[in-house]
Amino acid sequence: MGSGNMPSVHVLLKKEDIDAVKLAGDKIAVVFDVLLATSTITSALFYGAREVIPVLNKEEALKEANGRDPKTTILVGEMDGKPIEGFLVPHPTYLRNKVKDKTIILSTTNGTVAVRKASAAKTLYIGSILNGQAAAETILTRHRNESIVIVCSGSSGSFCLEDFYGAGYFLDCLVSGSEQPLELTDAARAALLFYRGTVALGNKVLKSSSVGQMLVHYGLEDVVEYVIGRGTMPIVPYLADKKRIIRGDF
């Protein structure tokens, strides 16, 4: 934890490392699933979605949708990289013109699970490369002396390069914008150094990652290139009522 009043910044390398007890109370969490859940959530809210409800699986999504107005509710999801039957594909570019004024019920293999696991945090923000700058500015303004836990969702128990890169970008924005020193754990420092060493190679880094290679294989190279847009969305989605993610314009 932080020494004295110096705020501490931690990085968890995969969602399975989340300790809800340690996160509870006064911690600020920022969850990254760059390919693709948190990029999709940020984009959907930027394009006018009313809210995103993160769920764990198809069954919970259908239960959540039951009784809601089908005109204003859409089911979006994938499991193990494959679209869930009857759900819209959770790609940010695909959803662009389909989400305005809608409630999105979103089920993904890793990102929405990470959000739910980290929901014990005092405040939980959604991070991506698209909104990393806005997220850093918001946290520096609203949570000046509080501990920050950056959660890389990873993929089914494994470390993900693209989340590490996204966390590093966010850390670069955070460190550059802070008026006081921040106490970084070694994992946080590693993410920052990795990002600064590969900043000009973001496209290559994401496409060379396991998930990136899979997306390129399926002809979704444009989606990978889309999520690398550094700081293009000045919004900061956050978890309200421990249940729904809404847009923050702080």
pLDDT in tens, the chain (250 residues): 444 467 899 999 999 999 988 898 889 999 999 999 999 999 999 999 999 999 999 999 999 999 999 999 999 999 998 999 999 999 999 999 999 999 999 999 999 999 999 999 999 999 999 999 999 999 999 998 899 999 999 998 999 999 999 999 999 999 999 999 999 999 999 999 999 999 999 999 999 999 999 999 999 999 999 999 999 999 999 999 999 999 986 5
249 part of a folded domain: no
How far is residue 80's CA from residue 103's CA, in Å, rounded to a whole number? 23
How far is residue 41's CA from residue 24's CA, in Å, rounded to a whole number? 23
DSSP 170: H
Task: Tell me the CATH number at 73.
Answer: 3.90.1560.10
Whole domain around residue 109: which residue ranges?
8-243
> Residues 6 or more apart from 146 whose CB is under 8 A from it?
7, 26, 27, 28, 122
Judged by DSSP in three states, 216 sits in helix
The structure tokens listed for 55 are 């769920």
Identify the pLDDT of residue 248: 83
100 part of a folded domain: yes
Answer for the pair 37, 78: CB distance below 8 angstroms, yes or no.
Answer: no
191 part of a folded domain: yes
138 part of a folded domain: yes
2 part of a folded domain: no
230 part of a folded domain: yes
201 part of a folded domain: yes
Identify the pLDDT of residue 1: 40
Largest separation between any pair of C-alpha atoms in the chain: 52
Identify the pLDDT of residue 5: 65
116 part of a folded domain: yes
The structure tokens listed for 26 are 């006064």
Total number of domains in the chain: 1
